[in-house]
Structure 1
Amino acid sequence: MLAPHPTWQDIAAEKKQTIDDKIPPEWRVTKEQLENKKVVDLPRTCGLMTDRELSITELSAVEILAAIQTQKLTAVETTAAFCKRAAIAHQATNCLSEILFKEALQQAAKLDEYMLVHGKPMGILHGLPISVKEHIKLKDTPATSALIAWANDASDEDALIVKTFREQGAVFHVKTTNPQTLMALETVSNLFGRTTNPHNTNLTCGGSTGGEGALLAMGGSPLGIGTDIGGSIRVPSAFCGVYGFKPTISRLPHSGLSGLSDGMQNLVGVVGPLARCIEDLELFCVAGLNQEPWKYEPSLIEMPWRPNTTTPQKLKIGVIWCDGVVQPHPPILRALKHLVSALEDDGHNVIDWDTSLHKEIYDITNEIYFLDGGAEYHQRLEEGKEPAVSIVKWLLDEKAVRSYTVEDTWNVNSRLDRLRTLYAHQWNTYDIDAIICPANASVASAHDESRYWGYTCVFNALDFPAAIIPVGTVEKTDTWSQFPPMSASSLNPKDEWYRSLYDDGKGPLRYEGAPVSIQITGRRFHDEEVLRITSRIQNLLLKKAAIGLVDQPIKSRQT
């Protein structure tokens, strides 16, 4: 008699059990320790990590590499510390899709031996643990895009970014969760379950690089590889209070990913970093280009990283208070207000940015995401005999409403190109250096409420590089009365719904503990300038905080 075909529930249960079984018994936290909705400090309070392990895992990636290269740390000791902290993070937030502790420690031992024999590191990432978003291919592990149908399809090779980093001495200790089909700003799937926000588990960690956001926030990795086609690096970074960077298309290696709409050229995603400081964002970019990846991925531009790029002493910056579609919640308005004040006090010129083009760009971007009317999404879900999770069902019902002919796609591309040209003209007219704006209309959303991504996807459509920096957390005084919206009346039903999420008189309590972050974006291929300006903005905020003029930015790492 033939064995019954496993159900999607069977496949998911086996996957979750496989992950759980790889956590050593001595690294288990108690049920009581997981009852608090704020778990971000659990690695420090659970009693499982030594002071030495805590100090290692709270160094930046740049600091870790320096310590390994001067033999103050070994690759094995560093990797073991991050493995333990990642295990704690997973138990608290469900952020891991693959655990590779054994393989990572074996690789770290080989790197230590190399250092002993040769007296020098293998490469600029020698001994650095790096986490990898689930759908990025890592040899001999699945890259499922959180689809049941692909649950057991192991990758036969590394993605180019993984290969590039591996050749420079990186150690890969975990893969992290992403949402079903990837196309969501929340990380939930039938295959892996729901990943929560370590600052408040009642809130989402964001998506689609949500597992990375949660893991980095808890210190389970010093550097993570993510992807972004509509905000998938920036939103988790903002929601979890870490740093993130979306580069220009064709700068960093992007080949070797699983996912739907493979081969779509109308709008292309990018690979980029999530980190715990700005210096580590740049380290990622330097390492990503260090092996001349354009020789292996023909779509890449031959443009090495330009470390000596400078920016004007006095900047001219556009500020987006509202994109004309959905008005930001009070904590974000407060952060923007304080940042603008700090910039002006420092002599920079800040102008209100005209967002009249944003709604049309947002609408066209949503068309491009579902040119086949969602047919491939439905097909893959049916192959796995699994239902769409709530947020994906809403997405398919709301956005995937029609199929486009080839001629239709030409029309979409033509309209988008016209808008890009108009936006370039606007930028030239005002001659700004950067734009500062929200990463989302909300701080970290409650589960299944992330339904607007206009503040990020517009810059995917324009192909502008963009960074995220954390600048504080939600405060009790973050109310509509203290920080009123730009328009007293709702702009549209979507804006009215978003306002209602905060308008029940309990907004600050509902989003308690959530990080507040700012997005900085600049011209296409001006990636280096965006990171320089981001660094200057952070230094300015730290200076102002030291004398009590603005809120203390989140410290994503301790040194």
Structure 2
Amino acid sequence: MANLTSWQALVEDKRRRQKESIPKEWLELIIAPPPDVLNVTKVPKECKLLSAKELEITETSNVDVILQKLASSEWSSVEVTTAFYKRAIIAQQVVNCLTEIFVERALARAAELDAHLAKTGKVVGPLHGLPISLKDQLCVKGLETTMGYVSWIGKYADRNAVLVDILYECGAVPFVRTNIPQTLMWPETFNNVFGRTSNPYNRALTSGGSSGGEGALIALKGSPLGIGSDIGGSVRIPSAFCGLYGLRPSYNRVPYEGAVNSLEGQDSVVSVFGPMSNSLSGIKTFMKAVVGSKPWTKDPMAIRKKWDENEYSLVEHGGGKQLCFAFLTDDGLVTPHPPIIRALEMTKNALVADGHKVVDWVPLKHREIYENLAGIWGAGASEDYAVTTASTGEPILASMSFESDQVDEAPFLPSKGISAYELWQLHKRKRELRKEYLDHWEKTVDITGTGRPVDAIICPVAPYAAPPHGKNRSANFTMVWNGLDYPACVFPVTQVIETIDVKKPPHQFLSETDKTTYELYDPTTFNNAPVALQLVGRTLEEEAVIGMTEVVDAALRQMFMKYHKGSW
């Protein structure tokens, strides 16, 4: 290979080694459709690589069901891991979602778990035998961790991240790592090392970011449960764009120690790890297992809070019998597209039909919260990116678009830092904004009729479904909750239906961004894209957020069954 010192040569070598990590006999049986085939969700079923039993295993979305079959030895961990491994490789061929692929290591781990169960009759832990995919931040001993940076090619971990150790202790089988954007600070997924990840429902659309590899992989059922990270929406955006469930926990509820990251040392608005899955059972099972492992004994920043079954049972929320949900339709700056409005109305109607109450949520100072977060992140971001890429000279991406000269998303790349004093003022203002929002929430006790403030907020994850590559220019609907440190769970509602979700006449625009968002919408472009919403709760209220999302999900399913042939 010519000029091994160039960053392009390093990339070429890394991609070659990645391909060689896939069993050749698997690749020979995968025929990827041509680029003009946009919806690739049926490829795994039509592909000759998966046996009938492997299809049965991977089509089982409910994580609890998979765990039950593993615990009873109806399915072995080797069988389950192999099935999801093959399906992950199929996903890789059609949407480019993987980074590290370690088949032999994972299968050896699965065999050990099967042997333990056969010998003792007992599972190793609550995640016994379950394959779990990891975002390319979670270090696994002996494996490279590039996080989308050419400069980190050849950077092998000398120990596991704490969360990876916990997964092993719980009996899980980590088996692949997934693609991310360079710097992580993008709501799409593209980097110079592994390239672009696309949306399996429509490859002309983005899978979101920064956990976009996880979103695309799980949407194709190449993993039953994955871990993403979220500093401004990076679990929730790909979960929504790919039709999944995904949880953004509060700061430090899930351990971060030993993982790599951008903007390290920025501890005011911190990144958090959270689960992504095709089932809500996957979200609950992950959180219960991780919290049950006492992560605060392994990570000094982890919150000391055990799993709270009373909180999950919604004891402080009327036992879940008559909840009051506040619906935020717009943030005062952007009006969502028609499919998002329809999803809000569907959810509202389903909850009312199920005996719950709904009120409107008036957004409080969202613009200021956005600007505060951007200022905090931007304080040292440019220097962080420059230092990281300096050793190889790889270019820092200025756009997620196919056209390299487009820089219309450059706001995600701050141009200059600020003084320490100026940063302290942003931290101080953030604390003040959190207090103002807490008071704003508490005052809703006057309008709920339940004797409690609103139990949760339901709102868009983005003003649109998955947009074309390079067009996801805002994370405002998610990052506001990062700034306030409110846990939020994404739940799928519907898909864009171009004959129903027609473009509306122009409205009175709330801002220039609102006008740009309106002009972006074309129902044909977005057709088939998943549509999801998020349920937002109070700080460190993850159990209740999961419990309330189950209530909403059940109400939607009940209404769906009633109107199965309607506009759902």
> What TM-score, normalized by structure 1, do the two folds share?
0.94
The code of the aligned residue for 2:271 comes to G
Q: Distance in 2 between matches of 1:549 and 1:58?
A: 21
Aligned counterpart for 1:428 among listed residues 442, 449, 452? 442
AA paired with 2:295?
A: P
Task: Note the aligned Cα RMSD (angstroms).
Answer: 1.9
Distance in 2 (alpha carbons) for counterparts of 1:101 and 1:445: 33
Q: Which residue of 1 aligns with 2:268?
A: 266
1:349 to 350, 353, 357: 357
Residue number among 391, 395, 408 corresponding to 1:387 in the alignment: 395
2:449 matched to which residue of 1? Answer: none
Answer yes or no: is 1:318 the counterpart of 2:326: yes
List gaps (5 residues or longer) in structure 2: 401-406, 445-452
CA spacing shift, 1:70–1:448, aligned 2, 3 Å: same
C-alpha contact (below 8 Å) 1:209/1:226 kept by paired residues: yes
1:412 corresponds, among 416, 426, 447, to 426
- Aligned position for 1:55: 56
Residue correspondence of structure 1 range 9-20 to structure 2 within 5 A:
9-20=8-19
Match of 2:509 in 1: 490
The partner residue of 2:91 within 86, 89, 103 is 89
Alignment-mate amino acid for residue 449 of structure 1: K
Report what 1:556 is aligned to.
none
Task: Specify the SS of the correspondent of 2:326.
Answer: strand
Q: Distance in 2 between matches of 1:105 and 1:530?
A: 35
1:362 paired residue among 340, 353, 370: 370
How far apart in 2 are the matches of 1:511 and 1:27?
33
Give the C-alpha shift of residue 415 in structure 1: 1.0
* SS of match in other structure, 2:375: helix
Superposition pairs of residues 439-454 of structure 1, within 5 angstroms: 439-454=461-476
How far did residue 186 of structure 1 move? 0.5
- CA gap of 1:521–1:112, structure 2 versus 1, over 3 A, is same
Q: Taking structure 1 as reference, are residues 492 and 518 closer, same or farther at Cα in structure 2, changes over 3 Å only?
A: same
- Asked if structure 2 preserves the Cα contact closer than 8 Å seen for 1:318 and 1:352, the reply is yes
2:519 paired with 1:519: no
Q: 1:143 to 1:551 in 2, by over 3 A?
A: farther
CA distance in 1, matches of 2:221, 2:159: 28
1:331 aligns with 2:339: yes
- 8 Å Cα contact 2:364-2:437 kept in structure 1: no
Contact 1:125 1:287 in 2 (8 A): yes
1:4 deviates by 3.7
Quick one: distance in 2 between partners of 1:119 and 1:343? 43
Residue 307 of structure 1, CA deviation: 2.5
Cα offsets for 1:376-435 (capped at 9, x unmatched): 112323332111234276555565133111111111011111111110001000011000
Q: Structure 1 residue 71: deviation in Å?
A: 0.9
Deviation readout 1:219-257 (Å, 9 max, x if unpaired): 111110111000000000000111100111121111122
Q: Distance in 1 between matches of 2:147 and 2:409?
A: 16
One-letter identity of the residue aligned with 1:267: V
Q: List per-residue Cα deviations over 1:156-198 (Å, max 9, x = no partner).
A: 1111111001112111111100110111011101111000000
Cα distance in 2 for partners of 1:399, 1:187 equals: 15
Tell me the amino acid that sits aligned with residue 461 of structure 2: A
Measured in 1, the distance between the counterparts of 2:324 and 2:32 equals: 52
Q: Report matched runs for 1:81-160 at 5 Å.
A: 81-160=83-162
Deviates more, 1:385-394 or 1:54-63: 385-394
Corresponding position of 2:450? none
1:446-476, CA deviations, whole angstroms, 9 ceiling, x for partnerless residues?
1011110010000000000100011110011
Cα distance in 1 between the residues matched to 2:211 and 2:21: 22
Letter in 1 for 2:208: G
Partner of residue 166, structure 2: 164
Read off the aligned partner of 1:45 and give its amino acid letter.
Answer: E
Contact 2:32 2:94 (C-alpha < 8 Å) held by counterparts: no
1:130-170 Cα deviation digits (max 9, x unpaired): 00001111111122220111111011111111100111211
- Counterpart CA distance in 2 for 1:177 and 1:373 is 21
The whole-number CA distance in structure 1 between the counterparts of 2:392 and 2:351 is 52
Distance 1:32 1:237, change over 3 A: closer
Q: 1:397 to 1:454 in 2, by over 3 A?
A: closer
Could you tell me which amino acid in structure 2 is paired with residue 463 of structure 1? D
C-alpha distance in structure 2 between counterparts of 1:244 and 1:373, whole Å: 27
Shift of 1:498: 1.4
Contact 2:340-2:460 at 8 Å conserved across structures: yes
Q: Percent identity?
A: 37
Question: What is the rounded CA distance, in whole Å, between the counterparts of 2:496 and 2:176 in structure 1?
Answer: 30
2:253 and 2:302 in contact (8 A); partners too: yes
Aligned length: 545
Partner Cα distance (1:386, 1:521) in 2: 39
Q: Which residue of 1 aligns with 2:192?
A: 190
Can you list the C-alpha shifts for 1:29-56, whole angstroms capped at 9, x where unaligned? 2244665211112110122211100111
